[in-house]
């Protein structure tokens, strides 16, 4: 659509006025010296914020606003950021900018909007920002020494809060470490086969000469050849051309067998009596696992839906129906079970944990300590904190004892984190947001563009929820 707009050209008779003629402006439609109406300019800017250069230009071209990638970026970078009002409660968090390079994100914990972002995460930058923006009363941060130092230097009177999100994340990390150290206990979560079960291949490592086993043995020997050399895991990983996490796994293991995924022998399960029925129903055309599960539940099946789904999975690929082999959960999965609120845990996980704890008292102890901390957080009640820290120290679990040591050194802020409602407003969601944007930009345009987009996008999201 084309709008033909006629405006008046006006003369100025003022003696002291340097301007001879000027054109009339129409509010909301024209701006002096601009080639775009305010509405169109807004569209260009929004496209830039949401999609950056290339994507923004593509969208605008579809909308018949031909603009180059660089022009969109230029318009984006020209946008003024909302002016900063110094927040009363500030959230500070770091995020990975590139592989080993970190950045710092500041969030107004009141509005939950990001207000500043820069490359690096050292104390001095944060202290300088706080000095330039006096008036921050509370700062929520992670447990790191660096930000603690920066706040102490830049805003010595501010109350420091160790963020509950980070406290929980720190504890969860230790739980993962413990679960990984108890990898060998995890098959206990899988129910015992029924007594009648014939077990033809009970020896899981009998010959131990599969390609996977040879591979594990070779890596184990290669990694452990470096022990005592004082080289870092990263250096060893580079040397061997392996992923650092793989090297870490082998370095931690006491033997190569620990690094092999154990596949439990075929066990008879409660589903066995229903396999024939499932096969028959499948042939009749019923392919929905939930429906099939309900049907056999009505016939007395007590097992989990997941098993039915796994059992019919081969049928979907035209293979014969198979009894599901239940794999033991991964350490990460067990850690998630342990850190999930019990009422939100499914029956499958609850039963698995119960079996696991009967066998492994250390994971049981870990679970109890996690629940105690969860109760403190939920009730904003830190009266049990000292005792809880003592229990961690006495738990005989090095991961938890180490955590207790770190938390004690920061105990005032930890106490604040448990008892105050403040949190940094930095959460997993926001960091995911950042990661996504980094990927869109592929690291080329750098931090100024990232800063522009992260801040403006958050405001945009408020405006167009």
Question: How many Cα atoms within 13 Å fall on the side-chain side of residue 93?
Answer: 25
Nearer to Zn ion, 113 or 180 (CB): 180
Nearer to Zn ion, 95 or 357 (CB): 357
Shortest Å distance, C-beta 341 to Zn ion: 23
Nearer to Zn ion, 185 or 292 (CB): 185
CB-based burial label for 318 (10 Å; 0-12, 13-18, 19+): exposed
Shortest Å distance, C-beta 206 to Zn ion: 24
Shortest Å distance, C-beta 186 to Zn ion: 8
Say how far residue 334 (Cα) sits from the centre of its chain: 17
Residue 143 φ/ψ region, left for φ over 0, alpha for ψ in the -120 to 50 degree band, beta for the rest: alpha
Pairing of strands 113-119, 102-108: antiparallel
Shortest Å distance, C-beta 348 to Zn ion: 20
- Residues 6 or more apart in contact with residue 256 via CB below 8 angstroms: 213, 216, 217, 219, 220, 221, 250
Nearer to Zn ion, 185 or 247 (CB): 185
Position with the least CB separation from Zn ion: 360
Shortest Å distance, C-beta 352 to Zn ion: 14
Cα→Cα distances 194→48, 173, 203, 267, Å? 62, 36, 18, 8
Shortest Å distance, C-beta 363 to Zn ion: 5
Nearer to Zn ion, 358 or 409 (CB): 358
Nearer to Zn ion, 178 or 308 (CB): 178
Q: Residue numbers of the site for Zn ion (CB under 5 A)?
A: 182, 185, 360
Nearer to Zn ion, 290 or 396 (CB): 396
- Residues 6 or more apart in contact with residue 96 via CB below 8 angstroms: 102, 103, 435
Shortest Å distance, C-beta 362 to Zn ion: 5
C-alpha span between 281 and 284 (Å, rounded): 5
Helix axes 211-224, 244-252, angle to 10 degrees: 90
């Amino acid at each position: 659509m084309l709008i033909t707009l006629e405006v008046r050209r006006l003369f100025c008779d003022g003696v002291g006025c340097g301007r001879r003629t000027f054109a009339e402006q129409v509010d909301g439609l024209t701006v002096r010296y601009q080639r775009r109406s305010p509405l169109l300019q807004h569209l260009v800017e929004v496209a830039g914020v949401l999609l950056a250069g290339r994507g923004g230009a593509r969208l605008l071209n579809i909308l018949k606003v031909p603009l180059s990638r660089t022009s969109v970026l230029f318009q984006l970078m020209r946008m003024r950021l909302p002016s900063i009002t110094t927040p009363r409660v500030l959230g500070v968090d770091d995020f990975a900018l590139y592989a080993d390079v970190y950045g710092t994100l500041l969030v107004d914990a009141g509005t939950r909007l990001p207000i500043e972002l820069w490359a690096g995460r050292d104390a001095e930058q944060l202290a300088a920002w706080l000095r330039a923006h006096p008036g921050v009363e509370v700062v929520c941060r992670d447990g790191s020494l660096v930000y603690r130092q920066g706040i102490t230097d830049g805003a010595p009177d501010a109350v420091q809060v160790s963020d509950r999100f980070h406290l929980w994340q720190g504890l969860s990390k230790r739980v993962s470490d413990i679960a990984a150290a108890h990898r060998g206990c995890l098959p206990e979560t899988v129910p015992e086969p029924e007594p009648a079960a014939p077990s033809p291949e009970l020896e899981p490592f009998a010959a131990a000469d599969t390609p996977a086993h040879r591979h594990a043995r070779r890596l184990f020997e290669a990694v452990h050849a470096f022990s005592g050399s004082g080289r870092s895991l990263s250096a060893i990983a580079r040397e061997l051309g392996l992923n650092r996490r793989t090297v870490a796994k082998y370095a931690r293991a006491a033997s190569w067998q620990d690094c092999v995924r154990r596949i439990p022998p075929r066990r008879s399960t409660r589903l066995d009596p229903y396999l024939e029925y499932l096969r028959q129903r499948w042939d009749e055309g019923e392919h929905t696992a939930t429906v099939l599960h309900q049907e056999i539940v009505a016939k007395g099946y007590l097992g989990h839906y997941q098993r039915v789904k796994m059992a019919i999975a081969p049928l979907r690929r035209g293979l014969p129906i198979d009894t599901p082999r239940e794999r033991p959960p991964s350490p990460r999965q067990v850690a998630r079970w342990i850190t999930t609120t019990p009422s939100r845990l499914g029956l499958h996980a609850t039963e698995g944990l119960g079996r696991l704890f009967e066998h492994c008292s250390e994971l049981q102890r870990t679970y109890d300590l996690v629940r105690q901390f969860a109760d403190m957080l939920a009730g904003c009640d830190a009266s049990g904190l000292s005792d809880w820290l003592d229990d961690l120290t006495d738990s005989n679990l090095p991961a938890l004892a180490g955590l207790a040591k770190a938390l004690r050194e920061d105990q005032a802020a930890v106490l604040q984190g448990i008892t105050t409602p403040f949190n940094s407003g930095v959460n997993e969601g926001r960091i995911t947001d950042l990661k996504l944007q980094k990927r869109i930009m592929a690291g080329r345009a750098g931090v100024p563009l990232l800063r522009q987009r992260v801040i403006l996008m958050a405001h945009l999201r408020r405006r167009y929820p």
